[in-house]
A and B are shown apart, each in its own frame.
Chain A
Amino acid sequence: MKSRGPWATAVRRLMRDRAAVAALVLFVLIVILCLLAPAYAAWANVDPFRSTLDQIIKVNGVDVPVMEQSTEGLGLGYTPIGPTWELGNYFLGADNQGRDVMARLLYGGLNSLLIAGAATLLTLAIGTALGLAAGFFGGLIDTVLSRILDILWAFPVYLLAISLSIVLIAQGIEIGPITIQSGSLWLPIFIIGIVYIPYVARPVRGQVMALRESEFVLAAIGLGVPSHRILLRDILPNVSTTLIVFVPIMMALNMLTESALSFLSIGVQPPDASWGTIIQDGQTLLYTRPLVAMAPGIAIVITVLALNVLGDGMRDALDPRSKIRIGRG
C-alpha cells in the first residue's frame, strides 16, 4: 500500500472542496491574463504608458478620436473614448491620457500581483524567522523580538504604511549595499512586507512555543538532536501548514494595501500602472467614463475574493481543526 503523507492528503482534501477549486482556477486565470499583458499590448498595437491625445481609431468602420474635445461650456478639456467592446481596440475605452484601459488593466494587474506576491514572501520570510527565534529560544531573545513586534503592531497598518511611503517615496532607501530608488516597485513591496510582519510572526511564535513543549520535541532533545536540526526538522514542518494558509490570505491583504497606497499615489509611481493607480486615474472620469475606475475595482474584488476563498479552503484542507485567523484578536 502506498502511504499517503500529510501533504498529499491535504491536496486531495482541497480538490474535493469545489469552492476552493473554483477560486484556485479563477486566480490562476487572472494571473495568466495579467502575464499576457505585453502580448496584448503588442497585438492591440497600443503603448499603455504614453499619452496619445490625438489618435484616431476605427470603430465599426467609423473614425473616432480617442480623445474627444468637449462640446460643452468653453469647449475645454477632453472626454476619452468609452468602451468599444472590441478586443484589441480600446475594449474598455481610454483613460484621461488616451491610453488603452484594457492594456493598462492587464499591466496594472501584473504589478499588483507582483507586489502582493513579493511582499507576501518577504513578510513570511521575516515573520517566520522572527517567530521561530522568539518562540524557540524564549528568554531575552523572545522579550526583545516581541517588544519590537509590539511596536510595529501598535500602529494601524494603513497609517504605518502611509507614513513609511510618504517618507520613503521621496528619497528611496539605502540599507547597506541595497539601494531602492524612489520610483522602484521594490519600495511598495518593502513597505507592505514590513507592516504585516507581526501578523505572521505572532501566530508563528505562539505555535513554536507550543511545539517547543510538545513531546516529540522533548524526545528530540532527549535524543541529543542539535537545536538547529530540531528547528528545521521538527518545528518548521509543523508550522508550515500555518505558513501555507497565510500565503493566499496575506496576498489578498497585500493587494488591498497596495491598491490603497497606489490610489493615494504613494505606491506604484507613474507611468507604471497598478490597479490602485488606474482607479485614481479614473477618479476624475467617474461621471463620464465610470468604467475606468470600476474595471480595476472589480478586478481587485474578484482577485481578493478568490484568494480568500482559496485561503479558507486551504486552511480546512490542511488542518480541519485549526483556528488560524488573520488580524487582531
Chain B
Amino acid sequence: MTAPLLEISNVSKRFAVGSRFSSQGLRIVNALDDVSLSVMPGETVGLVGESGCGKSTLGRCITRLYELTSGSLRFAGTDISSLSTREMRPLRRRIQMVFQDPSASLNPRRRVRDLIAEPLRVHTKMGSEEITARVAELLDIVGLKPDHAMRFPHEFSGGQRQRIGIARAIALNPELIVLDEPVSALDVSVQAQIVNLLADLQERLNLTYVFIAHDLSVVRQVSTRIAVMYLGSIVELGDAEDVFSRPSHPYTQALISAVPVPDVGKVGSRGRVVLTGDVPSPINPPSGCRFHTRCPIAQDRCRNERPVLRQLGASRHVACHFPSAADQAAQAVRP
C-alpha cells in the first residue's frame, strides 16, 4: 500500500466571534472538530455536507489559509501544520486551491496573463518570454484562446473564469489541488464541462483532488472516495459508489435520499428520509452525537455518548452507534 499524500490527523479549528465587550461576549465556533482523513495519491476525495458543516474550512486548513487550532497535517510525509509562512512557501507550489466563485478569486484589476503568471513569477525564475509561453500553454490546456491573455476577468463568462482559476492552480504542476466548490457557482451545462476538464487534467497531470461540494450528483461523478461532514466532523467515509448505494449513517441516508431522481417513473419508488429542524449552532453543539437532535433513530446513548469514526466493512468508516439500525430504518421507509 502506498503512503498517503495528505494525512489530516485530529484537526480542529475554532473561530472566535463577537467581542469580549459585546452583550453575548466572546463566543467560540467549533468549525472543525477532530477531523482525520487520509488522501491517497491520484484519488479524488469528495467532501460533502450542508452549508456550515466545515467542509470549506477544512479545505482552507489543508492549504494553510487558516491556522489549525489543534491536530496535524502531513503532506508527502512532512508535517506542514506548524511551518512558518516562509517555510511553507516551497510547499505552496505543490498544494493549490481553486475557489468557488471565480469572479471573487480573480483580482478584477489584473489581466488574465498576470493572474496566471503570478505563481510562476513568485515561485520560479522564468524569464518573461518563458512565462508568456507557459501562460499560452496553460490557456490552451484549460481550453481558452491565447488572445484571452490580455483581457480582464470581467470580460469572461463564469465557466471561462473558472478555467482561468484552474489554469492558475495547475501552473506550477502541483500534486494536490483543493477544489472548493469549483462548479457550484456555474450553470449546469457549464458544470459538466468544468467537471470533465478537471477529470481530464487529473489524468494528464497526475493530480490528487480534494473536491468540496454540496451537490451530491457532482461529487458522485468525480470522487473515488467520499467524506460526509456534519457540524465540523466526518460522519461517514468510504468508497464513492459504495457510500451512495449503501449509506450507513442516518445523515448520509437523508442526504442521498434528497438527491433528485432524473426519472419520473422512479419518483416515489425510493425512500425519502426527511430531516426536521435546522443544523444546530456550532457555537453550542449538542451533547453526545452531534446529529441526535435530527436523527430519526436516536437513542438515549446518542444523547450522552459521542460516537467515534470506526471502521465498518473493508473501506467504510462511520461515526454512529447504530449503523445497522440505520440501515434497517432506511429499508423500512422504502415501500
Chain A contacts to B: CB under 8 angstroms = 3, 5-6, 214-216, 218-226, 229, 233-234, 237-238
Q: A6-B108, A237-B107, A238-B108 are in contact. Are A225 and B118 (CB under 8 A)?
A: yes
What are 28 A-B contacts with C-beta separation under 8 Å? A3-B151, A3-B152, A3-B155, A6-B109, A6-B152, A215-B101, A215-B104, A215-B105, A216-B105, A216-B107, A218-B99, A219-B97, A219-B106, A222-B63, A222-B64, A222-B97, A223-B96, A223-B119, A223-B123, A224-B88, A224-B92, A224-B122, A224-B123, A225-B118, A233-B107, A233-B110, A234-B107, A238-B109
Q: Which residues of A contact B74 (CB under 8 A)?
A: none
* Interchain CB contact under 8 A, B109 and A218: no
Q: How many chain B residues have a CB neighbour from A under 8 Å?
A: 31
Q: Which residues of A contact B89 (CB under 8 A)?
A: 224
Instruction: Report the bound CA distance from A214 to B103 in whole Å.
Output: 11
Q: A222-B65, A223-B96, A229-B122 are in contact. Are A214 and B104 (CB under 8 A)?
A: yes
Q: Which residues of A contact B155 (CB under 8 A)?
A: 3
Q: A5-B111, A221-B65, A224-B93 are in contact. List 18 more A-B contacts (CB 8 A).
A: A3-B155, A6-B108, A6-B152, A215-B104, A215-B105, A216-B105, A216-B106, A219-B97, A219-B105, A219-B106, A219-B168, A223-B92, A223-B96, A223-B119, A224-B122, A224-B123, A225-B122, A237-B109
Q: Which residues of A contact B106 (CB under 8 A)?
A: 216, 219
Tell me if B60 is interfacial: C-beta within 8 Å of chain A: yes
1/0 per position for B76-111, CB-CB distance to A under 8 A? 000000000000110011001101110011111111
Nearest first, the 5 closest Cβ-Cβ pairs linking A and B are: A224-B92, A215-B105, A215-B104, A237-B109, A3-B151
* Interchain CB contact under 8 A, B118 and A218: no
Tell me if B150 is interfacial: C-beta within 8 Å of chain A: yes
Q: Which residues of B contact A219 (CB under 8 A)?
A: 97, 99, 105-106, 165, 168
Q: Which residues of A contact B107 (CB under 8 A)?
A: 216, 220, 233-234, 237-238
Instruction: Report the bound CA distance from A221 to B63 in whole Å.
Output: 9
Chain B contacts to A: CB under 8 angstroms = 60, 63-65, 88-89, 92-93, 96-97, 99-101, 104-111, 118-119, 122-123, 150-152, 155, 165, 168
Distance of B324 from chain A, by nearest CB (Å): 42
Q: A222-B92, A229-B122 are in contact. Are A5 and B152 (CB under 8 A)?
A: yes
Instruction: Report the bound CA distance from A233 to B97 in whole Å.
Output: 20
Distance of A196 from chain B, by nearest CB (Å): 26
Q: A3-B151, A229-B122 are in contact. Are A222 and B104 (CB under 8 A)?
A: no
* Interchain CB contact under 8 A, B92 and A216: no
Instruction: Report the bound CA distance from A238 to B111 in whole Å.
Output: 13
Q: Which residues of B contact A214 (CB under 8 A)?
A: 104
Chain A residue with Cβ nearest B123: A224
Q: Which of A5, A218, A225 contacts B105 (CB 8 A)?
A: A218
Chain A residue with Cβ nearest B153: A216
Instruction: Report the bound CA distance from A238 to B104 in whole Å.
Output: 13
* Interchain CB contact under 8 A, B118 and A220: yes
Instruction: Report the bound CA distance from A233 to B108 in whole Å.
Output: 11
Instruction: Report the bound CA distance from A277 to B254 in whole Å.
Output: 79
Instruction: Report the bound CA distance from A6 to B99 in whole Å.
Output: 23
Instruction: Report the bound CA distance from A215 to B123 in whole Å.
Output: 20
Distance of B44 from chain A, by nearest CB (Å): 19
Distance of B73 from chain A, by nearest CB (Å): 14
Chain A residue with Cβ nearest B119: A223
Q: Which residues of A contact B109 (CB under 8 A)?
A: 6, 237-238
Instruction: Report the bound CA distance from A218 to B66 in whole Å.
Output: 10
Instruction: Report the bound CA distance from A229 to B121 in whole Å.
Output: 11
Instruction: Report the bound CA distance from A6 to B151 in whole Å.
Output: 11
Instruction: Report the bound CA distance from A222 to B122 in whole Å.
Output: 12
* Interchain CB contact under 8 A, A222 and B108: no
Q: Which residues of B contact A226 (CB under 8 A)?
A: 122
Instruction: Report the bound CA distance from A237 to B151 in whole Å.
Output: 16
Q: Which residues of A contact B111 (CB under 8 A)?
A: 3, 5
Instruction: Report the bound CA distance from A229 to B89 in whole Å.
Output: 14
Instruction: Report the bound CA distance from A226 to B89 in whole Å.
Output: 9
Instruction: Report the bound CA distance from A233 to B60 in whole Å.
Output: 22
Distance of B176 from chain A, by nearest CB (Å): 12
Chain A residue with Cβ nearest B107: A216
Instruction: Report the bound CA distance from A228 to B100 in whole Å.
Output: 26
* Interchain CB contact under 8 A, B99 and A215: yes
Instruction: Report the bound CA distance from A5 to B100 in whole Å.
Output: 24
Chain B residue with Cβ nearest A225: B122
Chain B residue with Cβ nearest A226: B122
B106, B118, B122, B123 — most chain A CB neighbours (10 Å): B118
Chain B residue with Cβ nearest A3: B151
Q: Which residues of B contact A220 (CB under 8 A)?
A: 107, 118
* Interchain CB contact under 8 A, A3 and B150: yes
Chain A residue with Cβ nearest B122: A225
Chain A residue with Cβ nearest B154: A6
Distance of B71 from chain A, by nearest CB (Å): 20
Instruction: Report the bound CA distance from A226 to B85 in whole Å.
Output: 9
Instruction: Report the bound CA distance from A5 to B97 in whole Å.
Output: 27
